[in-house]
Amino acid sequence: MKRWYGIRRLYETAFRDRVLLILVLGIGAYYVTWSVVQWLTLTPDSLRFDFVNYFGGAQAAAHGTDIYADFKRSWGTQAWVVAYIYPPFFALVLAPLTSLGLLAAARIWLLAVQAAFIGSLLLILRIHPELSRGGRRLLLLASLGFMPVYLNLKFQQVATVWLLLITATLWAALRRHTGLAGAFIATAASLKVSPIFLIPLFARLGRWRIAVMGSVMLVVLTVVTVLAAPGSWQFFTVVLPRIGLGTANWDNGSIDGLVSRIAELAPGLFGGATQTVAKVVIAAAAIIVIGITLWQARGRADEAWTLRLSVAALITALLIVSSVTWQHHLVTLLLPLATGIAWITVRRPEARYGWWLFAAYAMCWMDRRAFPLPADMQVHSSTEAALVLAGTSVKLLGLLLLWTLLLRMLRHERVAASVRRPDQAVTGAAAQPAA
């Protein structure tokens, strides 16, 4: 096939770069058009999914009332999108917009989400200078064509803001800006709790100053926001324990979601202990996945690849074990994907690494609606149950593929470093003059 004209031309770097440029310009034009149309046609009905909840929490914060009042009234095992469920810091950030009204506040927030996405892409390119021209274009193509990006924008979500803060943390750490890195960690963990695991990661890598600065700033920011929003301490005592139970919703792509669906479809699988076993499995999976990630993140802390690959692996691991991983949360995978592309560009491993990365991307792009699942969201037979479990776990399989690939890259770096060190020692000894 390599000799066929169309295929042969793709092996020419200049031709391949031109093709990628045309594709990037095409998908870029679509992205801009789609975004402008969405911004101009925003209606209160299109904001009903999550932004209404953000706005309600911000209104409560602005008026000094309980930001979690709606959550406590309406919480149910499947009622996930019923109220404000984020830390108080997010409500306080949005509070100044409440005086503008729902629609105007949503338009400003959507601009902020867009700016965070574009800023993330620019920062990702800066922290991966190894990317060739074709690699940068490939990353832009993959980013602008990534389904979770459009879902994040459609539902006015915060995932691009998390991506920006985590990417900024990595950028600051690579450039030894300890204070900035700590501030970014504290801010990210104040919007979504899971980035708090960046603190033990940096400690594991020997970057103790970042870990300490991040911890101190997070404590200070948490205390200030709790004092500024009355009753917001309930986030830790009421909200977190309840949302930590997860949901069996078919769109939940984490291990928690898969186990919850199995327990729901087969409630008698372990008799009366089924729910207890499910909770133990979910907790064990989180401990194992995060534990393996932190354990593998070892090596010399000043090695840029170890740092980048470790952060990428942790981001992926947190999505795997989160209580809820909706598809729009997968926007944060753009950083791990960029790290994988850059590593492959430099190390030039076997072709299977590239195919492995592409398979993970494709599975995370795919939505359960691509499968012939029951339209009424009800399972009527064991065959349908098996189909539902398989069709709703494709994103999880993609996450696991990406996670294991990043861990393999980390292992490759450790092996390469262990080979280089003896060689360097021998060279140094040989260079010394004889006595």
Digitized pLDDT (tens) for each residue of the chain, 435 residues in all = 555 555 666 666 777 788 899 999 999 999 999 999 999 999 888 887 788 889 989 999 998 888 888 888 776 544 455 678 889 999 999 999 999 999 999 999 999 999 999 999 999 999 999 999 989 999 999 999 999 999 999 988 899 999 999 999 999 999 999 999 999 999 999 998 899 999 999 999 989 999 999 999 999 999 999 898 888 888 888 888 887 777 888 889 999 999 999 998 988 888 889 889 999 999 999 999 999 999 998 766 448 899 999 999 999 999 999 988 999 999 999 999 999 999 999 999 988 999 999 999 999 998 888 888 888 888 888 888 899 999 999 999 999 999 999 999 999 888 877 766 554 543 443 333 333
pLDDT at 243: 79
* DSSP reduced 3-state for 81: coil
Cβ-proximal residues to 134 (8 Å cutoff; 6+ apart), any chain = 13, 16, 17, 20
Distance CA 408, CA 418 (A): 15
pLDDT at 46: 83
pLDDT at 218: 95
Distance CA 306, CA 269 (A): 42
pLDDT at 301: 45
User: Exposed, middle or buried by CB within 10 Å (0-12, 13-18, 19+), for 397?
Assistant: middle
Distance CA 21, CA 10 (A): 13
pLDDT at 190: 92
User: Exposed, middle or buried by CB within 10 Å (0-12, 13-18, 19+), for 64?
Assistant: exposed
Distance CA 255, CA 267 (A): 17
Q: How many residues does the chain have?
A: 435
The alpha carbons of the chain give a radius of gyration, in whole angstroms, of 23
CB atoms within 10 A of CB 214: 29
Which residue type, as a one-letter code, is found at position 276?
T
Residue of 203, 211, 170, 194 lying closest to 335 (CA atoms):
170
Q: Name the DSSP class of 36.
A: H
First to last CA, the chain: 62
Q: Name the DSSP class of 330.
A: G
CB atoms within 10 A of CB 22: 11
> Residue 98 in contact with residue 62, Cβ under 8 Å?
yes
pLDDT at 3: 56
Residue of 163, 319, 152, 161 lying closest to 252 (CA atoms):
319
The two three-digit tokens of residue 4, written as one number: 């066929």
pLDDT at 222: 93
Distance CA 313, CA 197 (A): 12
